[in-house]
Amino acid sequence: MSQPVSAISIKGLTKDFSVTLRGVKLRAVDALNLEVAEGQVYGLLGPNGSGKSTTIKIILGLLDATVGDVRVFGVPANQVEARRNVGYLPEAPYFYRYLSGRELVRFYARVCGVPKASLKARVDEVIAWVGLSGAADRRVGTYSKGMLQRIGLAQALVHDPKLIVLDEPTAGVDPVGSAEMCELIVKLKQQGKTVLITSHLLAQIEDVCDRVAILDRGKLIVEGSVLELVGQRDRQALIVDPLPAADLEALRGWLAARGHSLNSVEQPRARLDQLFLSKVSRPGRPGGGSGGVGSNEVPLDAKP
């Protein structure tokens, strides 16, 4: 029985850049091995200069590997065929300012070979999915950063790729825009898409990723599922209503009698970003409710 093909397979990847005319090399990625299974949301983390963007560019065929083998769904990444099933949202995307959002998505759809018969419906569908229907006929030059990210996601999804690569999708975007982007990523996962994401916002990565890899100076430092890496399997937290001091002592005694110890008693705290999102108004959610993605959203389970 043949093994399932990974969405991304990286074996022994090394990338050197010449930084002087005398041939001095800078090693951006050093003997990297990674496997991203189909259907996962995979986080690629690391400080600036750790090799994340270089790795992504090699996966997309924009750079050639110095050494190593990189495959996308089994196809060598430097072949045009490998990009047939890939959607890419670059960091701080800049698009043709003179096109409207709809024209832009339509342009990329045609480049990707979306059939003419379904072109209009597909463009409208994906624009609605990212919540930009109301602004689709505005020129991209007038878009906010959050809207640029969303139209960027629309162009990445328009040909219904199996793998979506998001390079810093929340960079420069306010917490509302970031939260909406995270919701879109979760929706992509629900549709069975594979998502490779880099971000400096580690809390967001933790919320949406199945597995993460941490790079530093081009080397893989840590790799594993989020639960494995940050979960404390030898401990448990119980959230209860406030206990009077006497009851707390009784509980401590009860646990001690059974060979357990109460290690700490803390006041649970909401995360600041959650508080922020619950207080500010969001497009389509006045007063900070919960629900869809944007002012023109379609239901969360809508398939692009």
Partner 1 sequence: MSVASVPFSFGRLGLIAGNTFLEAVRQKLFNFLLLLAVGLVASAQFFREFNFGSSELKFIADFGFGALIFFGSALTIATTAQLFFSEIENRTALTLLAKPLWRAEFVFGKFLGVFAVIGVFCALTIGLMIALLWHREGQLMVINPDDFANGRLIAYGDLLIVGLLQWLKFGVLTAIVLLIASFSNTNLFTVVTGFFVLVICHLQYLARDQWSNVDNVLLAGTVRVLSLVFPNFQLFNLADEIGQGAGVSGEVALRVAGYGVAYIAVIGGLAVYSFRNREI
Q: Which C-beta is closer to partner 1: that of 41 or that of 165? A: 165
Q: Which C-beta is closer to partner 1: that of 62 or that of 202? A: 62
Helix (H) or strand (E) holding 277: helix 272-279
Choices 69-77, 128-136, 198-206, 207-215; region in contact with partner 1 by CB under 8 A: 69-77
3-state secondary structure 71-93: EECCEECCCHHHHHHEEEECCCC
**Could you say whether residue 96 binds partner 1 (CB under 8 A)?**
yes
Among 65, 70, 73, 105, contact with partner 1 (rule: CB under 8 A) = 73
Q: How far apart are CA 29 and CA 65, in angstroms?
A: 9
**Could you say whether residue 244 binds partner 1 (CB under 8 A)?**
no
DSSP of 135-169: GTTSBGGG--HHHHHHHHHHHHHTT--SEEEEEST
To partner 1, the closest distance from the beta carbon of 265 in angstroms equals: 51
Residue count, binding to partner 1 (CB under 8 A): 33
Q: How far, in whole angstroms, is CA 203 from its chain's centroid?
A: 12
Q: Which residues of 237-268 are buried (b: 16+ CB within 10 A; e: fewer)?
A: eeeeeeeeeeeeeeeeeeeeeeeeeeeeeeee
To partner 1, the closest distance from the beta carbon of 283 in angstroms equals: 25
- Enumerate residues 107-146 that contact partner 1 by CB under 8 A: 107-108, 110-113
**Could you say whether residue 69 binds partner 1 (CB under 8 A)?**
no
Six-digit token pair at 220?
A: 């893989």
**Could you say whether residue 304 binds partner 1 (CB under 8 A)?**
no
| Chain positions contacting partner 1, by CB under 8 A | 5, 57, 60-64, 73-75, 80-84, 86, 88, 90, 92-96, 98, 107-108, 110-113, 152, 155, 165
